[in-house]
Structure 1
Amino acid sequence: MNTVIHLFSGLLVFSLGAAVGSFLNVVIYRIPAGISLLYPPSRCPVCLTRLRPYDNIPILGWILLRGQCRYCHTSISYRYPLIETLTAILFLWVFLLLGWQWQTLSYWIFLSWLLALGMIDLDTLTLPHPLTKWGLITGVVIQTVMPGLTGGWQATLIGFSESVVAAVIGIWLFDLVRWGGAIAMKQDVMGGGDGKLAALIGAWLGWKLLLLTFFLGSTLGAIVGVGGIALGLIHRRQPIPFGPFLAVAAMVAALFGDALMNSYLDWLFPGMIQGIILAATHGGAIV
């Protein structure tokens, strides 16, 4: 019976994630174009025919239509079901890690926001201010309210202050990198939106995981940039969006950040961390 419940819960979460991914496709396409998210209803961008509900089934709709509009037979990008599938997998992954709790919902919201911003930056080399602004505000609110559910007003105050401080660190850190890079390279090395995205990430994850995100995102961006130049896929002066790297790094930090940092500290200071813990818990000397 428990197995059936778990399978049903997993299928429900996967379906929810796919549905959210379908909405993210709308966000990714419409916000840069300045089109309302609510009107007009979903339609083919070529023949403008309004899509029927059965054409809009996440993932399955694209498969049943064989990647073509039912009405004008224009090809539908594979990216639509890909984003729906990726969102569904992320939702399921978070659920398997955390189960049914409020933190699960907050992670779903955060990862969805990152996915939308990363894809928009990849398409347009921009990070829309409304998305970064409201993502930051939502992060501060959630990181303020959630600790208070179990820890009272003191936890609420701590959550609020830590979230705001991390957001400030994020935007200052990236502004310093942007200004320093512009002086050293005599060209813009980072867009102004990247600092706002960093502030958003800091508001959600705190300053420690923000720094981990910065390290992972910079490393990933360097690997892709150097590799792309070496293979002739990217020109040396070609602008590369940093948002997607930050988004991927923040997802990794959110899901595995604590484990990564603990593993790194254990490798860097073997035995020291355990010794400190033993000394603190038993009141003895570090041996």
Structure 2
Amino acid sequence: MDILMIVPASLLVFILGASIGSFINVVVYRLPAGLSVLWPPSRCPHCLNQLKAYDNVPVLGWLWLRGRCRYCKNKIAARYPVVEAVTGIIFVLVFLLFKVSILTIGYWAFCSWLLALSLIDLDTMTLPNQLTQSGLVLGLIFQIVIGFFPEGSSVGAIKHLMMGIVGAVLGLWLFDAIALLGSIALGKTAMGAGDAKLAAMMGAWLGWKYLLLAGFMACAVGALVGGVAIALSQRRFGQKIPFGPFLALGAAIALFGGEAILSVYQGLFFPVT
């Protein structure tokens, strides 16, 4: 794509992503509370006044209001525009990597699910079944679609579907096994059931090979962050931390750099002679 087209296209993609990020904020707030994510329209959580359309513009609305509700003047958390901006950036990165394709649309959805689940896990230490299960189903549908197009091959669709199913089953079994072994070693629950369900969802989207890479990266980064937090006395040994965000980060690393990482790994340990 010509550079003159990339810049305006990326801007439009960022706006789309930021708008999706605004909806992710709604999902993260309402879903754990058992509220509808569609009704009522966006409103201040303090005074419950409905936001005007121009106040609800992603990122800019928060800046215009200087981080405070127009009506009650209570502070609006800075996380709202941050999530919108981060979602916009993720959408642009996916677009630049996969261009105008079915892959781009699919991975926009995948990353949105990962972000929503990560934020909910950070807030509540839970990973809602509504998101992990719907994300898994979408991942399998995605595999069918990319296997069928562009050649229109039913054989390709079945092959990709099986790859997604194997990845989902492996993710569920692997992290269930890790949870069991961890619980035996620590003498208490080491990992929530939602983590295994998230891993299954990731496997449906990424396939078994990239799932293993994502799981390894999640465990490595999680161990590093946990070790640093303990060293800085921010957490005690054995204290629970949400693992969902680390799984999501591992999935993002596998999505954006998995091919390069596996190529380097193969070159180091299994060089072609």
Q: Distance in 2 between matches of 1:174 and 1:197?
A: 9
Q: Distance in 1 between matches of 2:108 and 2:145?
A: 16
Q: Distance in 1 between matches of 2:92 and 2:19?
A: 13
Q: Distance in 2 between matches of 1:28 and 1:68?
A: 20
Q: Distance in 2 between matches of 1:46 and 1:230?
A: 38
The 5 Å alignment of 1:195-214 reads: 195-214=196-215
Partner of 1:77: 77
Residues 1:254 and 2:265 are matched in the alignment: no
Q: Distance in 1 between matches of 2:213 and 2:3?
A: 37
Per-residue deviation, 1:127: 0.2
Per-residue deviation, 1:225: 0.6
Corresponding letter in the other structure for 1:78 = A
How many residues align? The count is 272
Per-residue deviation, 1:2: 4.6
The 5 Å alignment of 1:234-249 reads: 234-249=235-250
- Write out per-residue CA displacement over residues 191-239 of structure 1, whole angstroms, 9 at most, x where no aligned residue: 0000000000000000000000110000010011111011010122321
Corresponding letter in the other structure for 1:233 = Q
Per-residue deviation, 1:7: 1.9
Structure 1's unaligned 5+ residue stretches are 276-287
Corresponding letter in the other structure for 2:197 = K
Partner of 2:175: 174
Per-residue deviation, 1:150: 2.5
Residues 1:123 and 2:133 are matched in the alignment: no
Residues 1:222 and 2:228 are matched in the alignment: no
Partner of 1:37: 37
For residue 133 of structure 1, give the secondary structure of its aligned residue in structure 2: helix
Per-residue deviation, 1:4: 3.6
Runs of 4+ with >6 A deviation: none
Partner of 2:112: 112
Structure 2's unaligned 5+ residue stretches are none
Q: Distance in 2 between matches of 1:14 and 1:41?
A: 23
Corresponding letter in the other structure for 1:265 = Q
The 5 Å alignment of 1:76-95 reads: 76-95=76-95
Partner of 1:186: 187
Q: Percent identity, aligned pairs only?
A: 49
CA RMSD of aligned residues (A): 1.2
Q: Distance in 1 between matches of 2:229 and 2:39?
A: 40
Corresponding letter in the other structure for 1:235 = R
Corresponding letter in the other structure for 1:221 = G
- Write out per-residue CA displacement over residues 64-85 of structure 1, whole angstroms, 9 at most, x where no aligned residue: 1111111111111111111111
Partner of 1:6: 6
Per-residue deviation, 1:265: 1.6
In terms of mean alpha carbon deviation, does 144-153 or 203-212 score higher?
144-153
Per-residue deviation, 1:95: 0.9
- Write out per-residue CA displacement over residues 89-124 of structure 1, whole angstroms, 9 at most, x where no aligned residue: 010011111111111101101011000001100110
For residue 32 of structure 1, give the secondary structure of its aligned residue in structure 2: coil
Q: Distance in 2 between matches of 1:131 and 1:3?
A: 37
- Write out per-residue CA displacement over residues 154-207 of structure 1, whole angstroms, 9 at most, x where no aligned residue: 101101111011100000000111111111110111000000000000000000
Q: Distance in 2 between matches of 1:10 and 1:230?
A: 41
Q: Distance in 1 between matches of 2:126 and 2:104?
A: 29
Per-residue deviation, 1:6: 2.2
Q: Distance in 2 between matches of 1:101 and 1:165?
A: 25
For residue 71 of structure 2, give the secondary structure of its aligned residue in structure 1: coil
- Normalising by structure 1, what TM-score? 0.92
Corresponding letter in the other structure for 2:17 = G
Per-residue deviation, 1:261: 0.8
For residue 43 of structure 2, give the secondary structure of its aligned residue in structure 1: coil
Q: Distance in 1 between matches of 2:250 and 2:35?
A: 29
Corresponding letter in the other structure for 2:127 = L
Corresponding letter in the other structure for 2:253 = V
